[in-house]
Amino acid sequence: MKAIVKTSDGGPEVLKLSEVETPKPKSNQLLINVKSTALNRADTLQRKGLYPPPMGESEILGLELSGVVEEKGAAVKGFELGDRVFGLVSGGAYAEYAIIDYRMAMHIPEDWSFEKAAAVPEVFFTANETLFKLGSLSCDESVLIHAGGSGVGTAGIQMANNAGAKVFITTGSNQKIEKAKMLGCTEGINYKTHDFAESIKNLTEGKGVDVVQDFIGQPYFEKNCSILKPNGRLLIVGLMGGTEAEIDLGLILRKRLQIFGSIMRPLPLKEKISITQRFVDRWLPLLKTGVINPVIDTIMPLEEAHEAHQHMESNGNFGKIILRI
């Protein structure tokens, strides 16, 4: 089968279209003829050698997919050959064929394209697990979502808005702020021209927000804590700006803050199945009816994966970047 492989650790130029062996499904697995996959920041880290796949998983990049069931293991239930499915995987989706545990697979709604389906799993799963399961975001609360133009950001804006929360975001352009407002964002802050902590204090009359979802890490940590209300929750989902930060334990103590870290890829399969089911129960019905929608920035062919990575790393995208196989 054809797949994108990395010839070494490095920049986007190390990604090459190659011939590799087609995987074989085990008893609980489906072999998917992949039609679309989507980029995630984890893919760029893996390409650089900074985020290896869990032991026993495919070395090929790609954490989500949509496609058609080609083969199924003996213990599979609820799926037949030819079914259109989508779901989260631990790797291997930048390829013509990939493996997924059937308990992680979901049937694609009839009126969805493969591209739309591929844009859903990673970002909506992440937003649900962080904002709602860990962050307990509820109606009449407020949230600051950093990287508001990212896939997770565009999903989280819609989900938080649907839940009745007031949504603030940061992003790097005024154009992205306007797009975010169309998704349900109350106010946006251009981090290139404004100090987000000062802006949040001004926008909330000094009260701050109940929840912060952060992808940056070290440069934002102190400011994130400073703008949280008493009993506020900080959700650390990425560390794009660095891993080491000074902590004012007194501030955390006085404000009774809670700090959560979240990463899905290395979780045990049982936990990932539960994550899938929580998404199916709460958010898939709203996606099916169009109340919320994945935001797609660009669709590119698989062989242009290196260009897709360049686009993501330039921070030019608003929403998901899709690779069509």
- The residue extents of the domains of the chain are 2-120+268-324, 123-261
Report whether 188 contacts 169 (CB < 8 A).
Answer: yes
Report whether 151 contacts 139 (CB < 8 A).
Answer: no
Q: What tokens were used for 265?
A: 């890829």
pLDDT band at 206 (very low <50, low <70, confident <90, very high): very high
Report whether 124 contacts 287 (CB < 8 A).
Answer: yes
Q: Which CATH superfamily groups domain 123-261?
A: NAD(P)-binding Rossmann-like Domain (3.40.50.720)
Looking at the domain that runs over 2-120+268-324, which CATH code has it been given?
3.90.180.10
Report whether 118 contacts 67 (CB < 8 A).
Answer: no
Report whether 216 contacts 144 (CB < 8 A).
Answer: no
Q: What tokens were used for 286?
A: 């709203």
| Cα–Cα distance for residue pair 121/128, rounded to 1 Å | 11
pLDDT of residue 95: 98
| Cα–Cα distance for residue pair 199/201, rounded to 1 Å | 5
The structure's pTM equals 0.97
Q: What tokens were used for 128?
A: 């649900």
126-146 pLDDT per residue, tens: 999 999 999 999 999 999 999
Q: What tokens were used for 127?
A: 């937003």
9-49 pLDDT per residue, tens: 999 999 999 999 999 999 999 999 999 999 999 999 999 99
Q: What tokens were used for 147?
A: 């990287």
Give yes or no for residue 71 having a pLDDT over 90: yes
CB under 8 Å to 265, separation ≥6 — which residues? 42, 51, 53, 54, 63, 90
The DSSP secondary structure of 118-170, one letter per residue, reads HTSHHHHHHHIIIIIIIT---TT-EEEESSTTSHHHHHHHHHHHHTT-EEEEE
When pLDDT is averaged across residues 83-96 and rounded to a whole number, the result is: 98
| CA contacts within 13 A on the Cβ side of 296 | 17
Q: What is the DSSP letter of 49?
A: T
Give yes or no for residue 73 having a pLDDT over 90: yes
Give yes or no for residue 247 having a pLDDT over 90: no
When pLDDT is averaged across residues 75-80 and rounded to a whole number, the result is: 98
Q: How confident is the prediction for the chain on average, in pLDDT?
A: 97
